[in-house]
Chain A
Amino acid sequence: MNANLPELIVIIPLIGAFLITLAATVHGKLCFPLAAAILTGALVSAVGLLGRVLAEGVVEYHLAGWRPPWGIGYRVDPLNGLVLVVVAAVALINLLGTRPLVEKDFGDRLGPFYTLYVLFVTGLMGIVVTGDAFNLYVLLEIAAITGYALIGMGNPQRAPLAGLNYIFMGTIGASLYLLGVGYIYLVTGTLNMMDIAARLPALAGSRLVMTAFIFCIAGLCLKMGFFPLHAWLPNAYSHAPAAVSSLIAPLMTKVMVYVMIRIMLTVFDPGFTFGTMGVSRGMVWLAVAAILGGSILALGTRHLKRMLTYIIVAEVGYMVGGFWLGNRAGISGAALHIVNDAAMTLCVFLAAGTFFYKIGGESIDDLQGLFRKMPVSMAAFAVGGLSIIGVPPTCGFFSKWYLISGGLAAGQYAFVGALLFSSLVNLALFFRIFEIAFFEPFQEHHGAHGAPAGTARQEAPLQMLVPLVLTALGLVALGLYSGDMVSRLIEHAIPAGIV
């Protein structure tokens, strides 16, 4: 059992997804408990696997016993062990926390919804666990296609169009990545990441390898919504159903950043990535543009989810910029921020879903008086907001600290300035919301639930509140343990050559 953990992580949700479809034919009510059981199984396997990685070092698994490079190998080191736990935990918490929303929106389509949900998680887990470049493409598309379908299930006015635009951009991104893998295969004759890594240094001057590198990075930048290729992201995430945006927004972009780190550090040699290619400086400047652009666009909207999606655009800039600083602090900060940003994005999107469930409005002006009406969920939202701003002891502060010290060490003062500017903008964004929610009296808006007038307390149901509060507490816990995470996990995943 323990030996097969890397495999189980993908197999449990994959088979589980089909079981959900079967269960839906019996009764729609069976889907949710089944999905919860499957994701719990995936989370337990992921935690077990991380424990094994901590105890034994890198875990290799050969599917069906075929040794790489002939067969597909899964390879788990401390970095992807950590990301696996994050993906499984975010998916499970979001599943538990959005049940009332899902039943309201998809009461008659629970089977398809939970099947797609679990398949999406399967794709992401596979992307993270795999050690094979082509296998990664296939799982990338499994996650992406289920993601398109989930987004398209949203508000019929806008979601299908946003989903279709996402398909166009996502397919271009995946095709570019596939071309990059093809070029690598052309020169190395292998698809296994470790095997490629062993053969590439001998070919460092090859123009073909450089082309492959550029195709891979362009494809991944499109997939992660890196400025200026972010145009699909705000529409896709803000028009998606609430339960879907709080799943996809924390996970998809972060997993793509993980893939970038994996491809650039494991497949390509760090010396090649940061030295020979000479794109580091340009990428950091693009990250500066991403942070500034995302922050300014976030200021310009009063739609809550849309504002949060622009913050994601800026956060992707944090991670990509931190990685391309090319020093230990910057890469640690980027890797730590994958974990932290997944948690804080989950927190604010879950809170936004809770508000939407109770008040039906999505503009920040609809949040008037919410501190009195929904004190617990608003407090959780506030913790998420403080973490995005970067207030200690929430986790957002610590990854930002690593990123800033990396920027100073690399002499990239524009990046440091952009980080500080974005923190100030986030401060303005969230305190604008806190002010509306705290000082302005609650007014009846859409009244979808016949809420009583005045300021009577009307919290969301407990099954939404408990996961939300747990996430908010998790942000503080992640902050307190961030030193441990860096020294025990992330440090071991960064090649020794990087100082």
Chain B
Amino acid sequence: MEDLAANFLTKYNYWAFIALVMIGFYAMIVKRNLVKKIVGMNILQTAVILFYVSIGAKRDADLPIIAHGHGSASHAVHAADYINPLPHVLMLTAIVVSVATLGVAIALAIKIYRQYGTLEEDEIGERIRNA
């Protein structure tokens, strides 16, 4: 039990990632409202971003900017002193992707609303069957 608590306290960011993934999946599978599903999709994407940001972080590490780097190449750089910038940079791209996905999804939701006057999946299904 103590192990679990310690695990939770030291790795809370990963637990948050798992919780967010589950919330996202839950919303996309269970909710019948299309906008709620879109929100769930965005939570899922954000959770993945949190995961990547977490794997770049290090305890007691600094920003990956080498102070006095210019002209003072004599002292060694310890990778452990700096957080890993690569996953963070990757996530800039992933954020752009998720914004674009969100944009297209909302645009389609607007088209659906114009067509059926509702965003509830059940009502849309009923209207398609009656049409």
Residues on A with beta carbons closer than 8 Å to the beta carbon of B55: 182, 185-186
The interface residues of chain A lying within 8 Å CB-to-CB of B107 are: 149, 152
CB distance from A234 to the nearest CB of B (A): 15
Known contacts: A158-B128, A160-B115, A167-B41. The answer to whether A145 contacts B94 by CB under 8 A is: no
CB contact list, B86-101 vs A, under 8 A = 87, 90, 93-94, 97, 100-101
Please give the distance in Å from A409's CB to the nearest CB on chain B: 40
Given contacts A160-B108, A164-B109, whether A138 and B45 have CB atoms under 8 Å apart is no
Asked if B19 is at the interface of the complex by the 8 Å CB criterion, the answer is no
Are B34 and A164 in contact (CB-based, < 8 A)? yes
| Cβ B41 vs Cβ A171 within 8 A | yes
B104 close to chain A: CB less than 8 A:
yes
Contact partner, A185, options B87, B108, B124, B128, Cβ 8 Å: B87
Q: Mark B16-50, 1 if CB is under 8 A from A, else 0.
A: 00000000010010000010010001001100100
Question: When the two chains form their complex, are residues A145 and B52 in contact, meaning their CB atoms are under 8 A apart?
Answer: no
| A167 in contact with B48 given A138-B93, A158-B128, A186-B55 (CB within 8 Å) | no
In this complex, how many residues of chain B approach chain A with their Cβ under 8 Å: the count is 30
Would B111 and A171 count as touching, CB distance under 8 A? no
How far, in whole Å, are A161 and B120 apart by their CA atoms in the complex? 11
Establish whether residues A175 and B104, one from each chain, have CB atoms under 8 Å apart when the complex forms.
no
Q: CA A160 – CA B113 in complex, angstroms?
A: 10
Give the dominant DSSP class at B's interface.
Answer: helix
Of B37, B51, B111, B114, the contact of A182 (CB 8 Å cutoff):
B51
Contacts of B100 in A (CB 8 A): 141, 145
Q: Does A402 contact B (CB under 8 A)?
A: no
| Bound complex: CA A171 to CA B101 (Å) | 8
Which residues of chain A in 138-177 are interfacial with respect to chain B, using CB atoms and an 8 Å cutoff?
138, 141, 145, 148-149, 152, 156-158, 160-161, 163-164, 167-168, 171-172, 174-175
Q: In the complex, are the beta carbons of A164 and B112 less than 8 A apart?
A: yes
- A138, A171, A178, A179 pick with most chain B CB within 10 angstroms: A171
Is A182's CB under 8 angstroms from B124's CB? no
What A residues does B112 contact at CB under 8 A? 160-161, 164
Q: What CA separation (Å) do A175 and B48 show in the bound complex?
A: 7
Does B73 sit within 8 A of A, measured CB to CB?
no
Contact A163 B108 (CB under 8 A): yes
B57 at the interface (CB under 8 A from A): no
Asked whether A141 lies within 8 Å of B101 as measured between CB atoms, the reply is yes
Kindly list chain A residues whose C-beta atoms are within 8 Å of the C-beta of B111. 152, 156, 160
The answer, yes or no, to whether A134 is at the interface (CB within 8 Å) is yes
Nearest B residue to A158 via CB reads B128
A161 and B101 within 8 A (CB) = no
User: What are the 3 tightest A-B residue pairs by CB atom distance, in nearest-first order?
Assistant: A160-B111, A141-B97, A160-B108
**Additional 8 contacts, C-beta under 8 A, given A141-B100, A148-B101:** A141-B101, A145-B101, A148-B104, A149-B104, A161-B108, A163-B108, A164-B105, A167-B104
Query: Chain A: residues with CB nearer than 8 A to chain B?
Result: 134, 137-138, 141, 145, 148-149, 152, 156-158, 160-161, 163-164, 167-168, 171-172, 174-175, 178-179, 182, 185-186
Mark B residues whose CB is within 8 Å of A: 25, 28, 34, 37, 41, 44-45, 48, 51-52, 55, 87, 90, 93-94, 97, 100-101, 104-105, 107-109, 111-112, 114-115, 124, 128, 131
A–B complex contacts, Cβ < 8 Å, 29 sampled: A141-B97, A145-B101, A148-B104, A149-B104, A152-B108, A156-B111, A160-B108, A160-B115, A161-B108, A161-B124, A163-B108, A164-B108, A164-B109, A167-B104, A167-B105, A167-B108, A168-B28, A168-B37, A171-B44, A171-B101, A172-B25, A172-B41, A172-B44, A175-B44, A175-B45, A175-B48, A179-B48, A182-B52, A182-B55
